[in-house]
Amino acid sequence: MTLAVAGAMSTLLGASSAFAQSSITLYGMMDTGITYVSNQGGKHNLKMDDGVNGPNLWGMTGTEDLGGGTKAFFQLVNQFQIDNGSFMNGKSLFSRTSIVGLSNDRFGKLSLGNQYDFMTDSLYFGGDDPAEASGHFYDFRAGPFQKLALPGNPTGAFDWDRMAGETVNNSVKYVTPTFNGFSAGAMYEFGGVAGSIGTGNGTSFALNYAMQNFGVNAAYTNLKTVVTGEGDVSVRNWGIGAHYRFGGWLTNALFTTVHNSYNGGSVYEGSVGAHYNFTPALSAGASYMYMKGNDVVDNNHAHQVAAIVDYALSKRTSVYALAVYQRASSGGLAQINGMNSSDGASSGQTQAVARVGLHTRF
């Protein structure tokens, strides 16, 4: 729902009446369904699960024309759980995104607050992630890498390349205008530790190219976490991806990495995917991913395949069926992304999920 406002609304927003062109947009999406898991700690599971084919979001964004091509903007986004009506674990009303900033077609975009780093901003939103073409949340990166032990991570390796929409607090981000298809970005996270500017801080950078139906993006993120008794623990990600659209097809490929400075654990993955629109209502997609860790995570590796069939009931609402299968190396415990309880990992080399669901936007 979009509300065009001027005059009295501009005053309500605290703006001068001289700046008449303003807007506020309320939006969101919701996803829920039934998921079968083949092996969680040695047992199968049938559960209601939400936020899989896209997160459950309620958001508000607004812009105000300041003149001379400059606009002020804000964005507030809440992620919630449909099945019980609560916030996400450990989150609050606008933990997904809360930013304010300035944009100008000639000078670029500056934003401050809680926001995505460039692993998400450039690689996922740039259209390079094969998970978007297939299993969505279940097809993001996890795997038999529990010993990766990322600080503050629910499984030690959940979404280890930050592509599922992780955000960075206390950050400032700048994105350049696009010149002949090229753009770049830089982000800095303030650690907020008195007497040590570099403690607990973070950086992220991106280089992007997009022209017509083709795009390629590269991103780097290094975030530090203060761990009691250990000081700064740095988690470093980098990745590169590309996509190409033609006819009814979307094809993409992605390579991402993670390194944990605390224990030296590292993992990389390479994936490819494709999605095809058979009709305006019916589409399907599939992807393949290979993940490999170093000796800290027992040199475990895994193969993962995913597929989805989606049927649009309207422009806003669709029903779908998807499946994801992962096979780990000998001795590794397979773990598909989103299996986040204490017994979420498989008791063996394989794990599979199958799901039917309903997705809508507003």
> What 3-state class would DSSP assign to 336?
coil
Nearest to 89 by CA among 98, 80, 76, 101: 80
- Which fold, 2-361? Porin (2.40.160)
The confidence score (pLDDT) of residue 341 equals: 67
Nearest to 148 by CA among 38, 258, 307, 22: 258
pTM value is 0.91
Neighbours of 179 (CB within 10 A): 8
Q: What are the phi and psi torsion angles at 317 (to 5°)?
A: -125, 135
Q: Which amino acid is at 37?
A: V
The confidence score (pLDDT) of residue 152 equals: 87
pLDDT in tens, 127-159: 999 999 998 999 999 999 999 999 989 899 999
Helix then strand then coil, in percent of the chain rounded to 5, is: 5, 55, 35
Positions of the chain with pLDDT under 70 = 1-20, 341-342
The confidence score (pLDDT) of residue 342 equals: 57
Nearest 5°: the CA angle 270, 293, 169 is 80
